[in-house]
Amino acid sequence: MANMEQLSVLTAKIMSDVSYTNEIATILDMLSEEKNSEILTVAVLSSLRKIYEKLQTNRWLFEEGDNAEDKEVFEYRQWMRETYNDVFTAITSLIISPHQQVQDSAFSISLSFLTAETVFVKLPRERTFLFVEQVLLSKNTDLVMKLSKEVSDLDWKFAALKAVGRFSKLHSGDHTLSDFVYQLLSAIDISELSQHSGEKQKTDASKTIHHICKAYNSTWVLFLKMPKSRELYHTILSSLHENVIPHMHNPKLLIDFLVDSYNLGGTASLLALNSLFILITKYNLDYPSFYPKLYRMLTPDLLHTTYVARFIMMLDIFLKSPLLPAYLVAAFAKRLAHNALQAPPHVVIIVMRFITNLVKLHPSVKRLVHRGKDHAAVRTDPFLYAEEDPAQCNALQSSLWELEVLAEHYCPAVPAVVKTLRKPTDEILVGLGLDKDYDGLFKEYLKMWNKDPPLEFEEPVSFDQSEYSDIFSFN
């Protein structure tokens, strides 16, 4: 069994005379002993670091195809390279150790080895992958964060992206790893590089940037195929349109992921909207069923979700085009107004302001607002709420009779916004009131009605104004 004294002697021998480098194999055997204590393992790692800090000044340690004239020198260097690879593999394998101190030591030494190599050569793909793989398999958030801070220069970004892509493919069935992969992948910033990715590849740097951006595309596609928790899935969908799509060479590679998410329904559909709409408007994605599926999302439950304000904001963007057919706009306005009958007051205000702007932008649907009480569409509503196709729901033949109900709403702000909707002006409302919530609305009206009550003008001097007033005097 290995001990500290033996380790110390071997290390001193190797450091003093290179002819003892064959003893590295002995030290490596110490590292693999299962009965080692945490302290001894850290000491072995420290010894290997000292030895290789000296040896890593030799370029031949990292370059294959050494042209040494002497056969013995050639064989020695070949053996040293193989031993170095074995040492690196053994050290990185300890990154997943259950002991925190061993983990930290293995991480820092592996990183220092890779850094030393970059003095002479580019980051080696295999060793970089091995390092990244072990860090992700450790499921240690702190180590992943430390690694993400190292991914700053071009070589590291390219090597890390390649490693993450390969890792995502190899471990595509393990849902417990996706959080850590996302943590690292989202930290790789190529925002500045993507602006120059389309330039002519005249220099080595421009070629590297092109390869990095290409790797960024493929790595995200591979990662999105990994199984994910619901929370991570929603996090990715909510940030994809801002943090990933603008930096991708070919965002259309995300079509399958986004369409599948949109078809899921519920929160996933809502969060996929932004990214999907960007692909439709900016990258000519042909998706004819976009609006019918968007219409099917308009359920009463939607107006009670956390993301309702965001959804209405996106809906406002999607329905602004004057080229949209009147039946489609009318269908959205009618269904939203109907759902608003069951919505909280602050959401009703958002919906009413949205419908107000919709009617002003699309004059052809004003008829829904101004049909009187005696109109047939008011007496017997032809609107088919259960119909999922906006073209078949008869919304344009209907009326917004729901406004009559909402005009009697207990919250004063709701009748006020309904009144604005009925005004004959074409003025668009600025803002949809997305910042309002129920608590804010309540406090707003509490301040409005929290006034001092009217008091008697003449201040009384006694409870009793009779002959006994002196007895009951305030003085």
CA end-to-end span of the chain: 98
pLDDT tens across the length of the chain (475 residues):
457 888 888 889 888 887 888 888 888 888 876 667 888 889 999 999 999 888 888 888 887 655 656 778 888 888 888 999 999 999 999 999 989 999 999 999 999 999 998 888 888 889 999 999 999 999 999 999 999 998 888 889 999 999 999 999 999 888 899 999 999 999 998 887 766 555 555 566 778 888 888 999 999 999 999 999 999 999 999 899 989 998 888 898 999 999 899 888 788 888 888 898 888 888 888 787 888 989 998 999 888 888 888 888 888 888 988 888 999 999 999 999 999 999 988 889 889 888 888 888 888 888 888 776 666 656 788 999 999 999 999 999 888 888 889 988 888 888 888 887 777 655 555 555 556 666 777 777 777 666 666 666 666 665 555 555 565 555 5
Half-sphere exposure of 6 toward its Cβ, with a 13 Å CA cutoff? 12
In whole angstroms, what is the distance from residue 400 CA to residue 356 CA?
A: 12
Query: Would the pTM of this model clear 0.75, i.e. be above it?
Result: yes
In whole angstroms, what is the distance from residue 162 CA to residue 234 CA?
A: 25
In whole angstroms, what is the distance from residue 139 CA to residue 175 CA?
A: 12
